[in-house]
Structure 1
Amino acid sequence: MTSATLLHLDSSISPAGSVSRALTDRFATAWRARHGRTARYRYRDLSADPVPAVRAAYDALGRRAERKGPLPLQDVATLADGPDETREWALSRPLIDELRTADTLLLGSPMYNFTVSTGLKAWIDRVSFPGAYLDPDTGERLLRDTRVVVVAVRGGGYGPGTPREHLDFQLPYLRAYFGNLGIAAEHLHVVTAELTRAADVPALNGLEPLAAESLAAAGTAVDELAALL
């Protein structure tokens, strides 16, 4: 088996009792056992160690790079105008390198206020540097073979046909984002666990059996993906 690389990101603000953290850990543990000692593993906790929000200098450098067209990453630093832009690139480059070199991205994404967490959004903004995922010679998408596993956890029910389906700005956003980044549709895998707050939100009381069923299905899906990717 050839060497493989897993980039594991958690974004739950809860250090304990997090369903998304439990499910991503389950995937990562099985994936690492399957791939063995040759596997490379990188973990980031986007809540405990948040990525700095992008600033105006990031935007200025990005616009300048975009006008040049896709560039080798090492050339971007030469475009920096002043220490602020240099700092923004220094914060961004390692995260971009991690994503570009990952065979599989594992992402724990609980829903907060109908969408993703601020920690995850900061990471997305930081890695989304213009041209960073295009081959500078051919223009081909560099992430076309990257696999993405999104573990989406929601306290309520937002699945197809539910009354709150129209309030889901989490999964449509992530699907659109990764698709635009160059991830092939067949390589984007979504695992959902819903109604995780059925036991403590009065409006959801009585839905505990459905919550348990959803969580069990999510666990099975995680196991199957870890055995496949």
Structure 2
Amino acid sequence: MPTLLVVNSSPFHETSVSRHLSEEFVQNWKQANPNGRVITRDLASSDLKTIDAAWVGAAYTPKDARTPEQNQALALSDTLLGELKAADEYVFGVPMHNFAVPSVLKLWIDQIARVGESFSYADGTPKGLLQGKKAAFLVASGGAYNAGTAMASFNHVEPYLRSVFGFLGVTDTSFLSAGGAAALMHGLDRAAFLQPHVEAIRSQFVAA
């Protein structure tokens, strides 16, 4: 049974462009995979904390040698990793915050980028352990930061996510950028703004 993990990180809901696009992706994925399963992780409502020395110590302690306190420190990380490993595909709704990913998404990445679980070092060489997965990133930004635009160098979202997920073994990735969303606050019609991005998502499934 194919499984899709949906990860949203916008603090907004009804007005969120990235959430609208991830919902569109899920609807099309369900039509293409009627027997599939969807796992949803809303980072805006998840109790994510920064990793600390105790967390790092627990992560580098062999599983059978961990104390109850160390197991507790890694409990959320274990849950998030379980979701990642169970899924065949991922879709991320990502708003750009200050030219980068939202803080809650960075906290999530810190929880799942874990030695021996999502990556390893064999003979000192890093190896991603989440291989054979596929990820789609739906990125919404107030300004236009696409390649070829005057502000393209300010876009740290796509290069960062490509690097992180590539390190973890996820190299089959796609990015859809919905730039210029700030115009929605100045009267731009929402449906007209969303339509080309919705069509781009639908076309992925028609082609498949």
Q: What TM-score bracket applies, with the shorter chain setting the length?
A: 0.7 to 0.9
2:134 maps to: 147
Post-superposition offset of 1:35: 1.0
**2: CA distance, partners of 1:199 / 1:23:** 15
1:49 maps to: 46
**2: CA distance, partners of 1:140 / 1:56:** 24
**C-alpha distance 227-136 of structure 1, shift in aligned 2 (>3 A):** farther
Code of the residue aligned with 2:60 in structure 1: it is R
**C-alpha distance 136-63 of structure 1, shift in aligned 2 (>3 A):** closer
Is 2:178 the partner of 1:160? no
Root mean square deviation, CA, Å: 2.6
- The question of whether the paired residues in 2 share the 8 Å contact of 1:155 and 1:196 is answered with yes
Post-superposition offset of 1:136: 11
Secondary structure at 2:185 match in 1: coil
**1: CA distance, partners of 2:206 / 2:25:** 9
**2: CA distance, partners of 1:159 / 1:136:** 34
Q: Please state which structure has a larger fraction of its residues in strand.
A: 2
2:22 maps to: 24
CA offset digits 1:38-67 (Å, max 9, x no partner) = 2111111100224233222111122335xx
Mapping for residues 152-191 of structure 1, pairs under 5 Å:
152-184=139-171, 187-191=172-176
Counterpart pick for 1:225 among 174, 179, 204: 204
2:87 maps to: 102
Mapping for residues 76-115 of structure 1, pairs under 5 Å:
76=63, 78-81=64-67, 83=69, 85-115=70-100
TM-score (normalizing by structure 2) = 0.87
- The question of whether the paired residues in 1 share the 8 Å contact of 2:119 and 2:167 is answered with no
- The question of whether the paired residues in 2 share the 8 Å contact of 1:63 and 1:130 is answered with yes
**1: CA distance, partners of 2:99 / 2:155:** 5
Secondary structure at 1:171 match in 2: helix
Secondary structure at 1:200 match in 2: helix
**2: CA distance, partners of 1:128 / 1:82:** 22
Secondary structure at 1:177 match in 2: helix
**C-alpha distance 227-125 of structure 1, shift in aligned 2 (>3 A):** farther
* Structure 2: stretches of 5+ with no match in the other structure: none
- The question of whether the paired residues in 1 share the 8 Å contact of 2:131 and 2:170 is answered with yes
**2: CA distance, partners of 1:82 / 1:48:** 26
2:105 maps to: 120
* Structure 1: stretches of 5+ with no match in the other structure: 66-75
- The question of whether the paired residues in 1 share the 8 Å contact of 2:112 and 2:118 is answered with no
